[in-house]
């Protein structure tokens, strides 16, 4: 089973569905941390080896790129648990998002220190380094 940190912009139902599959899930909305700053969230998730699930492609693509370049200079963990982005433009119901996350895990793709964006036509696409 995997450990996840579900961003505040992702439905609470996604967190509940993933928990129902046996995963360890924290939700920023459930923890009343809706105003959590994205960089701090990524650092916390990294420290706990959690995979971030978010709709926020703009911020998390930038954070991932910066992390890979400057992480050691900032004294933060050299690896994050991974980032999965389901862009808002590809609206998916919560059950479908949870299903796509499960399919990702079942595929056995590397996730630590990686970022994947879900696309309707291609599924999970890894961001190149």
Residue 31 pLDDT? 73
Q: Would you state the pLDDT for residue 71?
A: 65
Cα distance between the two ends of the chain? 27
DSSP of 101-114: HHHHHHHT---TT-
Instruction: Supply 18's token pair.
Output: 């993933």
If the chain, 129 residues long, is cut into consecutive pieces of 10 residues, what is the mean pLDDT of each piece? Answer: 94 96 92 74 91 94 85 69 88 93 96 94 90
What is the per-residue pLDDT for 96? 95
**Domain tally for the chain?**
1
* Number of neighbours of residue 119 by Cβ within 10 angstroms: 14
The rounded radius of gyration (Å) of the Cα atoms in the chain is 13
pLDDT at 12: 93
Closest CA to 60 of 78, 83, 81, 76: 83
| Digit-coded pLDDT (tens) for 96-121 | 999 999 999 999 999 999 999 999 98
Q: Which domain holds residue 120?
A: 3-126
- In whole angstroms, what is the distance from residue 17 CA to residue 14 CA? 5
């Amino acid at each position: 089973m995997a450990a996840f940190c579900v961003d505040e912009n992702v439905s609470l139902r996604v967190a509940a569905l993933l928990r129902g599959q046996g995963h360890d899930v924290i939700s920023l909305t459930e923890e009343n941390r809706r105003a959590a700053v994205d960089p701090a969230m990524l650092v916390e998730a990294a420290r706990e080896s959690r995979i971030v699930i978010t709709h926020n492609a703009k911020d998390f693509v930038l954070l991932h790129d910066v992390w890979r370049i400057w992480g050691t200079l900032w004294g933060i963990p050299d690896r994050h648990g991974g980032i999965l982005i389901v862009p808002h433009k590809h609206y998916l119901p919560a059950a479908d998002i949870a299903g796509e996350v499960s399919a990702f895990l079942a595929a056995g793709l590397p996730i630590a220190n990686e970022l994947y964006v879900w696309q309707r036509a291609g599924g999970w696409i890894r961001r190149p380094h």
